[in-house]
Amino acid sequence: MHQPRLKSKVRCTDREVGEITHVIVDPLSHDVSHIVVGGNGGGGRQIPMSEVQSVVDGLVQLRTASNALAQFPPLKREDYVTTHEVEIAHLEDHLHVESGEVLVPLPTLERNVPRRTFFMNLTHVIGALVALPLAFPVLKYLMKPMYSPFDNAWLKVGNVNRIKTDDVGMQFKYKKKVKEAFMPEAEVDKNVWILKASPAVLEEVYRGKDMEFRDQTGRLVWTNKKDVPYVVFSGKCPHLGCGYKWRKVPKLGKEIFLCPCHLSIYEPSGKVLDGPAPRPLDTLPIRVDAGGNVEIIDMEFKAGTKAQTRIV
Ligand code: FES
């Protein structure tokens, strides 16, 4: 039997039902496996070649009656590619339909996925699977400093017997071992300000409530009790992180914390009195033993924000 050609008329046993709009080719055998009949009631149905009785002079005769065509599935164009889009070796040696939409079924896996995207995604997945075992140790090493937990160690900073007057800021210097990303560990000079707060200043600091400090998992690290008079402030100004000083300001008739960088002024309680600082001085965990030895937990917070966000 001749191969059915595109645009050939198609007849059922009772009447003509349209013409061939596509032929579907088996990519392995190179034979035409189906014709697609459109127009006049053909309805774009895929009709298997087993239903073709004869092909004579551009007329395709089917074994089926026209009212039985509905049993054949309609063409799902997205499940096929044309022979212009795929290279099938020696197809033309076997196929004699005129040029047009000669279709080849897509592999099942590739259906419903745009063709190029499928292969691109597949290539990426394979590449990622190959690269992952190699990249993982490097990524782990590089990212470790970003995710290492905060250091909540207690640091000795001195003795409170240095403080002779209430509500007067006293600077305590200490050294801290710091490991910056991939640099070797180094010891840096740091400082905090501690004052022995009067009940009025203590009330301004704690607002009648104990102050809790938590780590990034939400675990409670320490609680500053609201009635312990020693209060410690981070040595960094919350505006942009400069160091600040304790100053007597005759004009104000009081002593305050003054940051020289942009002139933020803080009350002894750490409350902002003037300047660009977005929040009060950062209070840190403090504990004082019976002999007056002070320990603090060194914490650093994001500068320039109203919210207090711990970064170290
Ligand atoms: S850094 Fe202190 S006022 Fe700007």
Would you state the pLDDT for residue 89? 61
Nearest atom of ligand 1 to the alpha carbon of 262: 3
Q: Residues 114-134: what's their mean pLDDT?
A: 74
Instruction: Indicate the average pLDDT of the chain.
Output: 85
pLDDT interval class at 142 (50, 70, 90): low
Q: Whole-angstrom Cα distance, residue 106 to residue 8?
A: 25
| Farthest-apart Cα atoms in the chain, separation | 117
Burial of 53 (0-12, 13-18, 19+ CB in 10 A): middle
pTM higher than the cut 0.75: no
Q: Which residue has the tokens 């896996």?
A: 109
Share of the chain above pLDDT 70, in %: 83
Would you state the pLDDT for residue 150? 87
- DSSP code, position 66: G
Q: Is 71 left (phi over 0), alpha (psi -120 to 50) or beta?
A: alpha
Residue 193 has pLDDT above 70, yes or no: yes
pLDDT interval class at 99 (50, 70, 90): low
Residue 111 has pLDDT above 60, yes or no: no
Identify the residues whose C-beta falls under 6 Å from ligand 1: 237, 239-240, 242, 259, 261-262, 264, 275-277
Own/partner contacts of 179-184, CB < 8 Å, gap of 24 or more, are 179/145, 181/145, 182/145
Tokens of 311: 């970064």
Q: Residues 183-212: what's their mean pLDDT?
A: 93
Question: From ligand 1's centre to the CA of 184, what distance in Å?
Answer: 30
Which has the higher per-residue pLDDT, 27 or 91? 27
- State which of 242, 265, 301, 305 you would mutate to test the pocket of ligand 1, scoring each by most atoms of that ligand within 8 A of its C-beta: 242
Query: DSSP 3-state assignment of 218?
Result: coil
- For 156-165, how does the pLDDT look when each residue is reduced to its tens digit (9 = 90+)? 999 999 999 9
Alpha carbon of residue 20 to chain centroid: 51
Q: Whole-angstrom Cα distance, residue 202 to residue 243?
A: 23
In this structure, the residue with its CA closest to atom 4 of ligand 1 is: 262
Q: Which residue has the tokens 């088996």?
A: 26
- DSSP code, position 203: H
Q: Which residue has the tokens 């745009």?
A: 114
Question: From ligand 1's centre to the CA of 208, what distance in Å?
Answer: 28
Which has the higher per-residue pLDDT, 114 or 191? 191
